[in-house]
């Protein structure tokens, strides 16, 4: 489920920002999935570590981190590797707390929490698709689509957290068995996509949801006490190790620019203004994934706005 970059790569990692960016989210590569799983594990371990110290402090830090991450990400004019992954890490932390709070503080069963977040995610997907005509991450180039994207990411983190706890505790599988279960399940969208049984949009979001319980189950297995069927390394240790690995991988991606989506060669430049200050008429252009767009000026922060006319491979 990786997407190859289109177009030539710039000379030298330092100059990758000069490339034209098609969206404010990264290209989907193997490295993307590695960092994504690490952020889920770090979010799980950090949330548990902070909650064990003080629930109010943990909630305040989680909310503050989420707010800062979103403000930084939404205010950027282009895809910035460090900013994006910081936002993901903060969503991981906050999403974990959002799911755990319903069970640990209110007492709602994991099955109910899991079902509730699954419904919430389905509603977000429905509204997003009805509004924009696509759920493809290659179209995240307007503020409204970016808002839908991050709402979806938050819902997937909360859903994945609840699902991981559901299999570990309600089904009594434990952390190790849950890790194996989700490692096997995440292969389903990969195989289905490779066999052309599932389109890339469905396969991506299917796998994206599963990365959360996979990473969280592994983190719990490594960090929890042996009395809880863990290896006993401690949530704090797991948090630090995961954070260091994330920092290393993100630094590599930022240096090489390997995660920057190449500008769609079929997408024309922003319409030039006429002598009277009016923009040229919009026109329909094909996208690189089979969809067609109405091309219209959107403003410097995001380049052109591309509104989906039709996407035959989507739902």
Q: With 60 as the cut, is the pLDDT of residue 275 above it?
A: no
Rounded Cα distance, 179 and 233, in Å = 17
Tens-place pLDDT, residues 37-50:
999 999 999 998 99
Dihedral (C-alpha) 306, 253, 164, 226: value to the nearest 10 degrees? -170
The per-residue pLDDT for 142 is 87
Q: Judging by beta carbons within 10 Å of its beta carbon (0-12, 13-18, 19+), is residue 268 exposed, middle or buried?
A: exposed
The per-residue pLDDT for 1 is 62
Mean pLDDT for the stretch of residues 164-175: 89
The residue among 198, 51, 72, 205 whose CA lies nearest residue 128 is 205
Q: With 60 as the cut, is the pLDDT of residue 126 above it?
A: yes
The per-residue pLDDT for 105 is 75
Token couple for 307? 């509104």
Q: With contact defined as beta carbons under 8 Å apart, do 276 and 282 qualify?
A: no
Mean pLDDT for the stretch of residues 104-113: 85
The per-residue pLDDT for 130 is 93
Q: Judging by beta carbons within 10 Å of its beta carbon (0-12, 13-18, 19+), is residue 52 exposed, middle or buried?
A: exposed
Distance separating the N- and C-terminal Cα atoms of the chain: 18
* 252 or 22, greater pLDDT: 252
The helix/strand/coil state of 223 is helix
Mean pLDDT for the stretch of residues 140-145: 88
The per-residue pLDDT for 222 is 95
Q: With contact defined as beta carbons under 8 Å apart, do 166 and 107 qualify?
A: no
The DSSP-derived string for 43-58 is HHHHHHHHHHH-HHHH
Band of the pLDDT at 161, cuts 50, 70, 90?
Answer: confident
Average pLDDT, the chain: 79
Token couple for 168? 């570990």
Tens-place pLDDT, residues 222-252:
999 888 888 999 999 999 999 999 999 999 9
């Amino acid at each position: 489920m990786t997407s190859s970059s289109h177009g030539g790569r710039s000379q030298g990692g330092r100059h990758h920002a000069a490339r034209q960016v098609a969206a404010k989210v990264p290209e989907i590569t193997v490295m993307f999935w590695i960092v994504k799983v690490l952020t889920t594990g770090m979010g799980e371990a950090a949330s548990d570590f902070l909650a064990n110290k003080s629930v109010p402090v943990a909630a305040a830090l989680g909310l503050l981190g989420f707010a800062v991450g979103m403000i930084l990400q939404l205010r950027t004019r282009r895809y910035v590797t460090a900013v994006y992954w910081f936002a993901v890490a903060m969503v991981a932390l906050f999403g974990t707390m959002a799911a755990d709070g319903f069970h640990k503080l209110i007492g709602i069963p994991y099955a109910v929490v899991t079902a509730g977040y699954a419904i919430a995610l389905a509603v977000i997907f429905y509204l997003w698709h009805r509004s924009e005509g696509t759920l493809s991450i290659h179209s995240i180039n307007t503020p409204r689509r970016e808002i839908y994207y991050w709402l979806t990411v938050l819902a997937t983190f909360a859903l994945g957290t609840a699902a991981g706890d559901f299999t570990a505790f309600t089904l009594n599988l434990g952390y190790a068995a849950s890790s194996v279960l989700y490692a096997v399940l995440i292969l389903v969208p990969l195989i289905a996509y490779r066999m052309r049984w599932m389109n890339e949009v469905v396969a991506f979001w299917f796998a994206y949801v599963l990365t959360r319980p996979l990473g969280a189950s592994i983190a719990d297995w490594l960090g929890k006490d042996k009395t809880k069927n863990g290896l006993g390394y401690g949530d704090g240790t797991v948090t630090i190790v995961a954070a260091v690995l994330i920092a290393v991988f993100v630094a590599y991606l930022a240096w090489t620019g390997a995660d920057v989506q190449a500008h769609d060669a079929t997408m024309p430049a922003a319409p030039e203004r006429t002598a009277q200050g009016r923009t040229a008429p919009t026109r329909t252009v094909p996208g690189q994934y089979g969809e067609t767009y109405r091309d219209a000026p959107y403003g410097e922060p995001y380049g052109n706005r591309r509104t989906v006319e039709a996407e035959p491979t989507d739902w």
